[in-house]
């Protein structure tokens, strides 16, 4: 017999009906108040409903459950821990089997994506596992350098090829030389903005906090103090507290012209009216291209009589995933090269190669300290490799 429900105006009435149907030993399992059907229910009338079973059935049900049966609660004194290598391989086989089943009858448009996913999964598995089932020392060596993505894969592959079948461990200097050769294929450089012909616009864009204002100050100071060029500094970062005042102080110290632009129309007018060799622009860091925003100026074709350099700033510690995100955010501003900042603040400046790999842009500018204007320089292949994989403990060439 299954549990049955009985209703009454009161709880006693519902219980009486249950005992009448199931016997005096009926066991009540649940009691609740339910609204009556029809107009009475709409007006708020309700009944008491009980759910009950006969006494014999309740006893049989309880005995079958045996909630404290020893075989249910008995557990080994020590639980066996799964082998992580075996677990990883098992998961890999499951993933591969699932993909093969999905490919059996796939839509034509989905086939390339599935194949690419399988290739990427196998490559990741092979990179993490050596024949002995452990991550090899070359992957660990590359990881300690902070490298990720395609540059890391290329470096690890080159190291394995360099080692070959030799049983002797290669010296660290040999490993570093091998890494440098591999990374050189993933690095691109372009001319330093100040080495280009004038008149010229140099705009610095990128996320907040990456060091745009300091980079602008270093460029302006070098142009004025070392190259005897005339400069107009333009502040567009009206969002960050103190940003305009900070750039105004730099302009005063260098005795250069200083302007503030809040819209792209104002910026265009300042550029057109300027008679200096350089117009160096500090932007707000906002990637959104609004109709009246400063960023609209860089999204549009250059109509001034000046060439335009747009430097996308990235921190030297930027990871590959973040570099891809930043490159995508600021693509609408049409950056022409990269400025890598705060190289001195990280022991693993892998952002030098991550930024190029993620954006496809060359690096033109390196910032490696807080001093103005000393700690800025043009990007060269040798300088970047010395920062990424220095052969001597003395540090990188600057």
Neighbours of 37 (CB within 10 A): 10
Length of the chain, please?
398
Share of the chain above pLDDT 90, in %: 42
Torsion of CA 53, 55, 61, 66, to 10 degrees: 140
Poorest-pLDDT segment among 163-167, 333-337, 341-345, 382-386: 163-167
Three-class HEC string of 170-185? CCHHHHHHHHHHHHHC
Domain covering 193-388, topology: Rossmann fold (3.40.50)
When pLDDT is cut at 50, 70 and 90, the band that residue 173 belongs to is low
pTM (predicted TM-score): 0.64
The dihedral built from the CA positions of residue 119, 125, 130 and 132, taken in this order, carries a sign that is: negative
Specify the pLDDT at position 294: 80
Specify the pLDDT at position 160: 84
pLDDT tens-digit map of 379-389: 999 999 999 98
Distance (Å, whole) CA 146 – CA 347: 9
Helix (H) or strand (E) segment spanning residue 50? strand 46-53
From the list 217, 234, 318, the residue with the least C-alpha distance to 283 is: 234
Q: Do 302 and 336 touch, CB atoms closer than 8 A? A: no
Neighbours of 291 (CB within 10 A): 7
Share of the chain above pLDDT 70, in %: 71
Q: In angstroms, what CA-CA distances link 135 with 125, 132, 149, 162, 181? A: 10, 9, 16, 17, 23
| pLDDT (mean) for 51-75 | 53
Q: Which residues contact 318 (CB under 8 A, 6 or more apart)?
A: 326, 350, 351, 354, 355
| Domain chopping of the chain, boundaries | 4-66, 97-128, 134-186, 193-388
Specify the pLDDT at position 133: 40
């Amino acid at each position: 017999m299954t549990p049955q429900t009985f209703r009454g105006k009161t709880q006693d009435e519902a219980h009486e009906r249950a005992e009448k149907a199931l016997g005096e030993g009926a066991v009540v399992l649940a009691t609740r108040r339910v609204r009556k059907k029809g107009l009475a229910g709409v007006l708020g009338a309700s009944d008491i409903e009980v759910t009950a079973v006969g006494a014999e059935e309740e006893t049989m049900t309880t005995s079958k459950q045996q909630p404290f049966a020893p075989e249910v609660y008995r557990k080994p004194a020590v639980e066996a821990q799964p082998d992580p290598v075996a677990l990883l391989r098992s998961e890999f086989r499951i993933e591969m089997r699932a993909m093969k089943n999905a490919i059996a009858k796939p839509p034509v448009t989905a086939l390339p994506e599935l194949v690419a996913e399988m290739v990427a999964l196998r490559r990741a598995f092979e990179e993490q596992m050596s024949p002995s089932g452990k991550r090899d020392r070359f992957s660990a060596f590359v990881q300690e350098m902070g490298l990720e993505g395609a540059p890391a894969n290329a470096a690890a592959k080159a190291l394995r090829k360099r080692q070959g079948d030799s049983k002797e461990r290669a010296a660290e200097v040999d490993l570093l030389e091998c890494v440098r050769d591999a990374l050189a294929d993933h690095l691109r450089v372009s001319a330093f903005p100040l080495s280009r012909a004038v008149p010229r616009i140099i705009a610095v864009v990128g996320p907040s906090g990456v060091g745009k204002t300091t980079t602008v100050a270093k460029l302006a100071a070098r142009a004025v103090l070392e190259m005897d060029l005339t400069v107009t500094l333009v502040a567009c970062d009206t969002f960050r507290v103190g940003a305009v005042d900070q750039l105004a102080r730099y302009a005063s110290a260098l005795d250069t012209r200083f302007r503030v632009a809040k819209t792209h129309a104002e910026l265009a007018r300042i550029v057109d009216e300027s008679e200096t060799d350089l117009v160096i622009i500090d932007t707000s860091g906002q990637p959104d291209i609004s109709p009246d925003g400063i960023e609209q100026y860089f999204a549009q074709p250059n109509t001034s009589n000046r060439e335009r350099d747009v430097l996308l700033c990235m921190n030297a510690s930027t990871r590959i995933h973040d570099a891809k995100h930043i490159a995508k955010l600021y693509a609408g501003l049409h950056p022409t090269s990269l400025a890598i900042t705060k190289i001195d603040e990280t022991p693993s400046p892998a952002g030098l190669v991550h930024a190029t790999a993620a954006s496809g842009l060359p690096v033109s500018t390196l910032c490696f300290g807080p001093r103005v204007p000393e700690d800025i320089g043009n990007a060269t292949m040798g300088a970047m490799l010395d920062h990424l994989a220095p052969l001597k403990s003395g540090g990188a060439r600057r």
